[in-house]
């Protein structure tokens, strides 16, 4: 199966930088996604990594190391509205699976304080 591990909770202050880590173990890795989910709402897409390295998109960046089974999401210039759960998801192609399914971690609940 897939083991996706990320911290349960993190806190930070407005204007700060926070890094949310995600480790995974898969037999057929085919991409890593980060989603943001506000309480009571649907997850929204933030980033996608399939090759090693850093992908930057505005205040958010995501990094991937396939050899280490490791990714992080970096949030800069934190704002109150960034308080949400951040979900790490891995696409794993194994026997019997297809390119469709994602395996999600439990999510990291980030609280941004003023």
Partner 1 sequence: DTGVSQDPRHKITKRGQNVTFRCDPISEHNRLYWYRQTLGQGPEFLTYFQNEAQLEKSRLLSDRFSAERPKGSFSTLEIQRTEQGDSAMYLCASSFGLAEYEQYFGPGTRLTVT
Determine the 3-state secondary structure of 114 from DSSP.
Answer: coil
d(CA 66, CA 23): 10
Q: Which of 15, 16, 38, 50 binds partner 1 (CB under 8 A)?
A: 50
| Spatial distance between the Cα atoms of 25 and 2, rounded to a whole number of angstroms | 6
Token couple for 89? 């998801």
Least Cα distance to 90 among 43, 41, 50, 42 occurs for 50
Residue choice 44, 65, 79, 111 for contact with partner 1 (CB under 8 A): 44
Task: Work out the number of other CB atoms within 10 angstroms of the CB of residue 20.
Answer: 20
Q: Token pair 């930057």 is at which residue?
A: 56
Q: Does 57 bind partner 1 (CB under 8 A)?
A: no
Given 45, 69, 76, 95, the residue binding partner 1 (CB under 8 A): 45
Quick one: which of 16, 19, 27, 41 contacts partner 1 (CB under 8 A)? 41
What is the pattern of x (binds partner 1, CB under 8 A) and - over residues 62-81? --------------------
Residues 17-36 that bind partner 1 (CB under 8 A): 30-31, 33, 35
Q: Is 91 in the site for partner 1 (CB under 8 A)?
A: yes
């Amino acid at each position: 199966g897939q083991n996706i591990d990320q911290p349960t909770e993190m806190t930070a202050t407005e204007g700060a930088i926070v890094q949310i880590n995600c480790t995974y173990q898969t037999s057929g890795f085919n991409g890593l996604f980060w989603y943001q989910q506000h309480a009571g709402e649907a997850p929204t897409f933030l980033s996608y990594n399939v090759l090693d390295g850093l992908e930057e998109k505005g205040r958010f960046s995501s990094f991937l190391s396939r050899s280490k089974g490791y990714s992080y999401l970096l949030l800069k210039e934190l704002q109150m509205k960034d308080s949400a759960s951040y979900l790490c998801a891995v696409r794993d192609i194994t026997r019997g699976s297809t390119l469709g399914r994602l395996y999600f971690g439990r999510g990291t609940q980030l609280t941004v304080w003023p």
